[in-house]
Each structure stands twice: as structure tokens, then as C-alpha cells.
Amino acid sequence: MANHVRFVGRTVMVQNGNVEAAYGVLNRILAQDGVAEAVRRSRYFEKPSRARRRRAFEVCRRLYCNEMGRRIAFLARSTRQDPWPGC
């Protein structure tokens, strides 16, 4: 087994013969990496116009999620002053 960090981080060990749990962990890792989506997408031909639209949607979604995460982190920060003091 290689000692490369990326390989070790993606290795799933079966403990006590519990293959179902290891399979669940493997599926979760593949979903996080986007491997399952890529395989599903490459199963059929995707027209170039649909591919452009999908990539544009993914970019917009990523920007929106990053911005909303930034705003939520800003509002949920621990050093935030009370907006209504004395209430």
C-alpha cells in the first residue's frame, strides 16, 4: 500500500468483515470527490450547448453557496455584538 497522503485518505478498510459499512464509506468518499457524477455524466453523450449550460449553472451554484456560507459565518460569529442591547 502506498504511503501517499491522497491515497491513504481515500483508502477504505473493512473491519470485522463488515463490507456494507465499508461500501457506504466508499460511496460517501466517491460522492464528495464527484466521481459518481462524472461517471453518470459520461455514460451518454452530452451536447456541447447542454454542457456549457451545466457548467454555467455549477459555477453560479458554487458562487451562491460560497457567498451564503460567508454571510452565515459572519452572522454566527462568536464576537458579534448584540443587535438589540437591553431587550
Angle in degrees, CA 29, 54, 45, rounded to 5? 85
Of 49, 56, 32, the C-alpha closest to 64 is 56
Q: What is the pLDDT of residue 44?
A: 93
CA distance linking residue 40 with residue 36, whole number of Å:
6
CA distance linking residue 32 with residue 36, whole number of Å:
9
- Whether the CB-CB separation of 16 and 26 falls below 8 Å is answered with no
Q: Using one digit for the tens of pLDDT, what is the confidence trace for 14-58?
A: 889 899 999 999 998 888 888 888 888 889 999 999 999 999 999
